[in-house]
Amino acid sequence: MVNTNKKYDIILFGATGFTGKLTAEYLVSKMNSEKFTLALAGRSHSKLSNLKMEILNKFRNSVEIGIIIADVGDEESINRMVESTRVLITTVGPYLKYGETILKACAREGVHYLDITGEGAFVQTMYEKYNSLAVANKARIVNCCGYDSIPADLGTFFTIKNLPEEESKEVECFISTSSKNIVSALQSFSGGTWHSALGFMNFDEMERQNDSYQKIRSQFQPRNIYPIPTQFRYRDNEKLFGAPLPFVDVEVVLRSAGNLPEYGPDFSYGHYLSISGIPQLFAGLVSVGTVFTMAQIPQLKDFLLSLKSSGDGPDEDVRSTNQFKHSFVGRSATKTIRTTVTGGDPGYGDTSKMLGESALCLLNDKLDERYGVITPVMAMGNHLLSRLSAIGIRFSVIENEPKI
């Protein structure tokens, strides 16, 4: 399936960053079985060369890997990079600062694009500016292809497939990880993720998100596609509190629902963090509230940014013990279904797998003719579900859910 007009099938931009390295390793591990050409891209030739040798030695692999020098501050270098590939992955964030030049070039050149942003403002802005261009050039521009937001998006898709298509639906997602508390979860962030998270901890982002919900709701009328009102939930069957999470996942799931008929005439979605008791609930509120408040003050925000350098991240021992579980409750007029999505290290180990498999899916699988700035489910749906299931990310219909 190689396009002879392109030098590479996949280019990974940001390969020497923390998530980039893990994604590069994953892609190289798949090169013999999936037969594709790959290049690693970034600003430093020496760092890229060292990474290339490190990965080849690790896998004892003799495959050819290209090296491309490109910088978001040099638009010509970005254009040359994009023109030489069929699929472009970028792990360089924050995406509001570094993502647009690459995405725009992909939309213009008809090159499929993937990122791991969790920045709702970036996704909304790119949709408004470049969706029509991407559709015209048959480019699939797919944001949020990591832990934000594939488990939520694909998990909801898996859930609604088990409900009658002709009925309106409500899905709630409850997230739990193996982190014992909010503090340990924050400690597992990479530097890049930490910087991105602080970038959208502000009241302007909250207003933008509410505006996005209204646009989604009006875009898909007469169908009613909307978020479940923000409130705490209590799951009596498991004695778990659900604290609302206004993450980009909500917007992604709602956009998938609005564009695909199988979600039903009307659809609503709620997204929550599972908390096991009142003490943990208050500890989480205090921790997040403190960080949010500090992020509003420039000097304190600079201090928070200094706590983690971009490119840093948890070591392999920490990643190997991390797990995640998304528990879904789907309801229609005649049926209720409970499902789960479970996997390993959410932020990095499994994010690199999700991103790598998304790239291979866009490259090799026979997908629906759907283009533009679209969600993972809109772009890849059942194909990606099958791929992730095959590598150990489990999608299950359950009756009794074990706790992590």
Mean pLDDT (10-residue bins), the chain, 404 residues? 74 96 97 95 98 92 92 98 99 93 99 94 95 99 95 98 96 82 54 64 80 90 91 70 83 97 97 78 72 83 75 70 90 93 88 98 98 99 98 87 44
Residue 14 near residue 43 (C-beta atoms within 8 A): no
Q: Output DSSP code: residue 261.
A: G
Residue 103 near residue 126 (C-beta atoms within 8 A): yes
Element (H, E) at 110: none
pLDDT of residue 200: 65
Look at the block and give the residue holding tokens 């799951």. 235
Amino acid present at 377:
V
Angstrom distance (rounded) from CA 27 to CA 335: 40
Model confidence, pTM: 0.91
What are the beta bridge partners of residue 372?
A: 140
Q: Output DSSP code: residue 68.
A: E
SS3 (DSSP) at 147: coil
Element (H, E) at 172: strand 169-177
Q: How far apart are the first and last CA of the chain?
A: 41
pLDDT of residue 319: 75
b/e map of 227-253 (b: 16 or more CB within 10 Å)? bbeeeebebeeeebbbbbbbbbbbbbb
Residue 224 near residue 217 (C-beta atoms within 8 A): yes
What are phi and psi for residue 224, nearest 5 degrees? -105, 105
pLDDT of residue 245: 79
Neighbouring CB atoms inside 10 A of 311's CB total 16
pLDDT of residue 401: 44
Neighbouring CB atoms inside 10 A of 123's CB total 27
